[in-house]
């Protein structure tokens, strides 16, 4: 009885040792012969919010947060320290290796959309130009606020 148990344990140990290397993953096998057009299937990886140009084109100044959420969906990133900013990030890697990344940030003041920055932003929502900043218009780069420019 004892020898049968020991034989089973040895067989189990030997099978584990022999099968364990089959669990390893080799991303590229240059030493293996070419199999022609046969390649392993690689899945597409998509993360974040896909925003089509049509969706972004629907954004208008003065839209409420609920209206923006309806058009673009729930933002991927909301920051408790910057509650007036929503970030939409999209990343896709195709099985072929091609990568695509897009970003869109929308900014609110008094619960209304005031501007957006990122990929594919309509001209009406782009940040104010530096020439407008000289005239006292508030821009993020100038650091001046509308209250300071009046004083």
The domains of the chain, with CATH numbers, are: 46-126 (3.30.1450)
- Average pLDDT score over the chain: 74
Q: What is the pLDDT of residues 100-138, one digit of tens each?
A: 888 889 999 999 999 988 877 777 666 654 444 343 334
Once rounded to an integer, what is the mean pLDDT over residues 81-106? 88
Question: N- to C-terminal Cα distance for the chain?
Answer: 97
Q: What is the pLDDT of residues 12-40, one digit of tens each?
A: 777 777 776 666 655 555 555 566 677 78
pTM of the model: 0.55
Nearest residue to 59 (alpha-carbon basis) of 117, 103, 121: 121
CB under 8 Å to 100, separation ≥6 — which residues? Answer: 90, 91, 92, 93, 94
Q: What pLDDT is stored for residue 85 in this prediction?
A: 92
CB under 8 Å to 34, separation ≥6 — which residues? Answer: none
């Amino acid at each position: 009885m004892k020898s049968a148990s020991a034989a089973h344990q040895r067989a189990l140990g030997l099978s584990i040792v022999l099968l364990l290397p089959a669990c390893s993953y080799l991303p590229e096998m240059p030493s293996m012969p070419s199999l022609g057009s046969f390649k392993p299937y690689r899945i597409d990886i998509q993360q974040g919010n896909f925003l089509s140009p049509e969706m972004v084109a629907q954004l208008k100044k003065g839209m409420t947060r609920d209206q923006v959420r309806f058009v673009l969906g729930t933002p991927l990133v909301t920051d408790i320290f910057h509650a007036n900013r929503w970030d939409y990030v999209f990343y896709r890697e195709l099985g072929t290796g091609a990568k695509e990344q897009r970003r869109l940030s929308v900014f609110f003041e008094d619960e209304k959309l005031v501007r957006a920055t990122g990929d594919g932003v309509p001209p009406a929502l782009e940040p104010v130009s530096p020439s407008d900043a000289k005239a006292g218009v508030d821009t993020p780069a100038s650091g001046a606020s509308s209250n300071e420019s009046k004083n």
